Amino acid sequence: AMAAGLERPQVVSHAQQALSYTLFDCKWVPRSARLLCLGSAARGSGLLQLYELRGGRLVLLREIEKAKPLKCGTFGATSLQQRYFATGDFGGNLNIWNLEAPEIPVYSVKGHKEIINSIDGVGGLGIGEGAPEIVTGSRDGTVKVWDPRQKDTPVANMEPVQGESKRDCWTVAFGNAYNQEERVVCAGYDNGDIKLFDLKTMSLRWETNIKNGVCSVEFDRKDVNMNKLVATSLEGKFHVFDMRTQHPTKGFASVSEKAQKSTIWQVRHLPQNRDIFMTSGGAGSLHLWKYEYPAQRSKKDSEGAEMGVAGSVSLLQNVTLSTQPISSLDWSPDKKGLCVCGAFDQTVRVLIVTKLNKV
């Protein structure tokens, strides 16, 4: 039994760094062994730190301080040469920074009235087709899509109808960006709503409610015909939706799993294998999952309409790294198995997940 256990992927701790500020997000800089940490300093300002992984240690290369605490960031909408970093902060501002010259942002807009909880980018890094765009979701209940070529106004705005009491948007993700026209945005809210907006037709394509607040949503790949969507929530549950078949009334088929008692803060798919994903939990744990497709992904219902069939999820490995929630997680797009996670114990950890080839 022990031998079988060692055949599974192992999560090896490679390096860690204690920080002197609250860490909200960490991201790998594409095509490098560097990573960005961003968060909120005790004095109420925002901090952005650039680290390099050298010989089992994280070496601080640069520290940038900004007026407002930073909540989230993405490289998703930038080119590989420029590698500009987009951030959302506590004041509702969206900024795009050139890390070589970070004094003045390349693009800046006060996009929301309240904190930007989540940000995603698409169309950059040589992945996918179409214009680079950034989407932000905020506590003010709106989801806005921005094009860095257009100043001040978003190119799409998903907001509550007049008079509707707003609900916090906690997470956003791009998907279905397989050609120049197609693109969707998925948003998760604190009352358990998940909404799928189609940017080509500018309409709401699907919505559902998973009862508990949605902490994180992610498509397994942004740049393909939408395949799978994972949504994680409070109280330890996550749902995997099969996005290939949409039933007219039932929507998308899903399978759900309850991993642990605490909130699942993040889900991130492995860039090199879209059926493997990692979830991070409120109890400081990481779980590595594998999705298995069913024999048939769709079937006909009693009226002859196509409906999807969800597969199954199996746990490959889990490890507890901290006593505090692990709130951010990012896989390196360049080295399979290399990932960074940030926890509320003010520590950023670099991990290596082994044996992913054998899964």
Partner 1 sequence: MPVWLREHRWRQTASAVYLSLPVRGLRVTPANIFCTDRYLKVSIPPFLFEAILYAPIDDTNSTAKIGNGIIFFTLYKKEEAMWDSLTLANANKEKLQYLRENAVLKAHEKAKEETEAKKVTKQEHKKYALEATMKLEEAERKRIEDLKEKERQKVTKELELWKKQQEDSEKQKRVQKEGELHQEVEQLKERKKEKMNKTSVPNEGASKTRLKATKGCHGSYSMFSENLKEEQLPAPRSATTIKINFTSRVFPTALRESRVAEEEEWLRKQAEARRTVSADLSELEDLKEEEKNPEWLKDKGNKMFATGNYLAAVNAYNLAVRLNNKLPLLYLNRAACHLKLRNLHKAIEDSSKALELLTPPVRDNENARIKAYVRRGTAFCQLELYTEGLQDYEAALKIDPKNKTIEKDAENIRHLIQGTTQDS
What is the phi/psi pair of residue 261, to 5°? -80, -20
356 three-class SS: helix
- In the complex, the smallest distance separating the C-beta of residue 219 from partner 1, rounded to whole angstroms, is 19
Binding to partner 1 by residue 352, rule CB under 8 A?
Answer: yes
Which residues have CB under 8 Å from 3's CB, separation 6+?
none
Question: Within positions 221 to 240, which residues make up the interface with partner 1, using CB under 8 A?
Answer: 234-235
Q: What element of type H or E holds 3?
A: helix 2-7
Binding to partner 1 by residue 81, rule CB under 8 A?
Answer: yes
Residues 239 and 210 sit within 8 Å (Cβ to Cβ): yes
User: Between residues 90 and 146, which has the closer beta carbon with respect to partner 1?
Assistant: 146
Cα separation, 258 vs 299, whole angstroms: 26
Residues 280 and 327 sit within 8 Å (Cβ to Cβ): yes
Which residues have CB under 8 Å from 48's CB, separation 6+?
36, 37, 38, 63, 64, 65, 66, 70, 73, 85, 87, 97, 102
Residues 340 and 326 sit within 8 Å (Cβ to Cβ): no
Site string for partner 1, 295-334 (x = CB under 8 A): ---------------------------------------x
Binding to partner 1 by residue 57, rule CB under 8 A?
Answer: no
Binding span for partner 1 by CB under 8 A among 49-57, 100-108, 272-280, 293-301: 49-57
The residue count for binding partner 1 (CB under 8 A) is 60
User: Between residues 334 and 345, which has the closer beta carbon with respect to partner 1?
Assistant: 334
Binding to partner 1 by residue 292, rule CB under 8 A?
Answer: no
- Residues in contact with partner 1 by CB under 8 A are 2, 6, 10, 12, 14, 31-33, 53-56, 79, 81, 130-132, 145, 147, 149-150, 153-161, 164-167, 180-181, 189-193, 195, 197, 199, 202-204, 207, 209, 211-213, 234-235, 334-335, 337-338, 352, 354
